[in-house]
Amino acid sequence: MGHRAGVQGLTVVGPLDEGFDEVLTDEALQFVALLVHEFGGRREALLARRQERQAAFDRGEKPDFLPETAGIRAGDWKIAPVPKDLQDRRVEITGPAGDRKMVINALNSGARVFMADLEDANSPTWENSIRGQLNLRDAVSRTISFVNESGKRYALKEQTATLLVRPRGWHMVEKHVLLDGRPISASLFDFGLYLFHNRAELARHGTGPYFYLPKLESHLEARLWNDVFVRAQEALGMEQGTIKATVLIETILAAFETEEILYELRDHAAGLNCGRWDYIFSYVKKFRNQPDVILPDRAQVTMTSPFMRAYSLWTIHTCHKRGAHAIGGMAAQIPVKGDAAANEAAFANVRGDKEREARDGHDGTWVAHPGLVPVALAVFNEAMPTANQVHRLREDVQVTAADLLEVPSGTITEEGVRTNIRVGVQYLTAWLQGSGAVPLYHLMEDAATAEISRAQLWQWIRHPQGVLDDGRPITAEWVEQLIGEELAELDGDFEVAGTLFRELVFQEQFEEFLTGPGYAKL
Ligand SMILES: CC(=O)SCCNC(=O)CCNC(=O)[C@H](O)C(C)(C)COP(=O)(O)OP(=O)(O)OC[C@H]1O[C@@H](n2cnc3c(N)ncnc32)[C@H](O)[C@@H]1OP(=O)(O)O
Ligand SMILES: O=CC(=O)O
Ligand SMILES: [Mg+2]
């Protein structure tokens, strides 16, 4: 154990556990330092721009398609061709990069793609971040193995999924690496280390450095990623366009800039994905101070809610017009052990979700668990006999700003309030202990789903329309009472997570991301 210091102004202040020096080499840190020096300032300016836009929404403004980029939307262009191993993405499994066994299981799962996650599903402890990089390095070289408590050995099969990596979003910092005493961008850290260590080995295996880009709010943020890619490829002597990125459309603002985002990344774009959970969170967050926008219980907001349907179809329309893949999202159901009927209901739910996606024109979808790979595969094999359906142009889809913004109808129930409390506190507890993806009440919960739970409570308490279906108002005092009741029912120590949860729900200032104050406690 020790610390590393002094690479081009970068200081590593996180502990150096066994093997960490294999990732945190001088050369790799030099490369990260170059990216941070050149792009750190622009990142901060774009984060400040998010705040300026929020101020406008707080004044009652609504987003719209951008007049200044009408030429891009009207223009005749396509993204560069995507590599062979990204042509057929019918089923993609996701999981935290920091969990070595899961990385192996995911690559072996029969899915076409595995997205190794350093974002929503990965609690960003220093340990998880660096172990994640070690896991990825060993996955790329195909040497990864793992032995569980009972001696079972895990290794890669002959045929494995194509690996994509999701670095943390632009809002996150890596506090264990400082530049001039300040934490550096977690996105540049995750991306830089992975690219630096794996570019040659990926090429040797006939694949490439492929990424998922989370939580973008504008095409300018996509432009920053593109500039990072160009500079990175130049600095490492790689052919331009080798890096490929799939962008999650998971903020309400990105939905208004789908074409512009693809355009900015056109030499590096592989597609867009409908990150439904962050999308719902973003909708709550952006309009939290608008009295006419309020969402019903989390369980009532689904992919058939008109605004979600509009966004999903719009993403497909945009992608196919531009030659890009449109990947569907994550149904949160996971297998239910020991209850055949509940398990069948969960599977039926996932099947229905995937059938809708395939029918609409998605080129693939996400699953949270290996047990669901065959379910999604069967649906896409049936509905999509070709490698993808990019040829289905969906020119019939017309979506207006009003469609994207339509407030979903439904009710707020006491059970909905209680569920948000139970899920939020238990998720935070797990996250603070290093687990970023957690099974709760037979659903996969991660940072994105937990964000919805706490953001809804914040808004319901303050919102004039925040009343229950039986007419009772949702007051802070009542929610506090329910938190007490719910925690009393649960086993475990909720001291730290309970305090954080209360801060997120009750404090006047809305926290942009729960991972902000959460990270301070990790
Ligand atoms: C909103 C979004 O961002 S979605 C994308 C981000 N979220 C995710 O990636 C969540 C992915 N899913 C998971 O992490 C897990 O499925 C969980 C945490 C929800 C449940 O995990 P577990 O409690 O371990 O599930 P369970 O006990 O059923 O696991 C059975 C086996 O499947 C494996 N498994 C479960 N999920 C996954 C996965 N996503 N990838 C690979 N293997 C998995 C387990 O490792 C276990 O393996 P073993 O039999 O060899 O021991
Ligand atoms: O990242 C995916 C999401 O739904 O959020
Ligand atoms: Mg997300």
Q: Is the CB of 439 under 6 A from ligand 1?
A: yes
Q: Is the CB of 121 under 6 A from ligand 1?
A: yes
Return the closest-CA partner of residue 256 out of 322, 314, 323: 314
Question: CA–CA separation, 518 vs 501, rounded Å?
Answer: 10
Q: How far is the CA of 462 from the centre of ligand 3 (A)?
A: 25
- 117 catalytic? Reply is no
Whether this prediction's pTM lies above 0.90 is answered by: yes
Task: Judge whether 167 and 186 are in contact, CB under 8 Å.
Answer: yes
Longest dimension (CA), the chain: 64
Q: Is the CB of 277 under 6 A from ligand 1?
A: yes
Q: How far is the CA of 387 from the centre of ligand 2 (A)?
A: 24
**Can you give the pLDDT at residue 466?**
87
**Can you give the pLDDT at residue 249?**
99
**Can you give the pLDDT at residue 465?**
84
Ligand 2 atom with minimal separation from the 448 CA:
5
Ligand 1 atom with minimal separation from the 109 CA:
41
Return the closest-CA partner of residue 449 out of 327, 304, 276, 287: 276
Q: How far is the CA of 11 from the centre of ligand 2 (A)?
A: 32
Q: Tens of pLDDT along the chain (522 residues)?
A: 455 656 788 999 999 999 999 999 999 999 999 999 999 999 999 999 999 999 999 999 999 999 999 999 999 999 999 999 999 999 999 999 999 999 999 999 999 999 999 999 999 999 999 999 999 999 999 999 999 999 999 999 999 999 999 999 999 999 999 999 999 999 999 999 999 999 999 999 999 999 999 999 999 999 999 999 999 999 999 999 999 999 999 999 999 999 999 999 999 999 999 999 999 999 999 999 999 999 999 999 999 999 999 999 999 999 999 999 999 999 999 999 999 999 999 999 999 999 999 999 999 999 999 999 999 999 999 999 999 999 999 999 999 999 999 999 999 999 999 999 999 999 999 999 999 999 999 999 999 999 999 999 999 999 988 899 999 999 999 999 999 999 999 999 999 999 999 999 999 999 999 999 999 999
Q: Is the CB of 105 under 6 A from ligand 1?
A: yes
- 17 catalytic? Reply is no
Question: CA–CA separation, 106 vs 154, rounded Å?
Answer: 11
Q: Could you give the ipTM of this predicted complex?
A: 0.99
Alpha helix segments (H runs only) across 5-117: 20-23, 26-58, 70-74, 100-107
Q: How far is the CA of 192 from the centre of ligand 2 (A)?
A: 22
Question: CA–CA separation, 424 vs 27, rounded Å?
Answer: 41
Instruction: Describe the crossing of helices 306-321 and 340-360 by its angle, rounded to 10 degrees.
Output: 50
**Can you give the pLDDT at residue 198?**
99
Three-state DSSP state, 445: strand
Nearest CA to ligand 1 atom 40: 106
Burial of 40 (0-12, 13-18, 19+ CB in 10 A): middle
CB neighbour list of residue 509: distance below 8 Å, 6 or more residues apart: none
Q: Is the CB of 330 under 6 A from ligand 1?
A: yes
Q: What are the chain's domains?
A: 10-403 (3.20.20.360), 411-521 (1.20.1220.12)
Query: How many other C-beta atoms lie within 10 A of the C-beta of residue 199?
Result: 20
- Out of 166, 322, 422, 454, which one is annotated catalytic? 166
**Can you give the pLDDT at residue 5?**
58
Q: Is the CB of 448 under 6 A from ligand 2?
A: yes
Q: Is the CB of 248 under 6 A from ligand 2?
A: yes
Give the HSE-up count for residue 146: Cα atoms under 13 Å, Cβ half-sphere.
Answer: 17
Q: How far is the CA of 95 from the centre of ligand 1 (A)?
A: 6
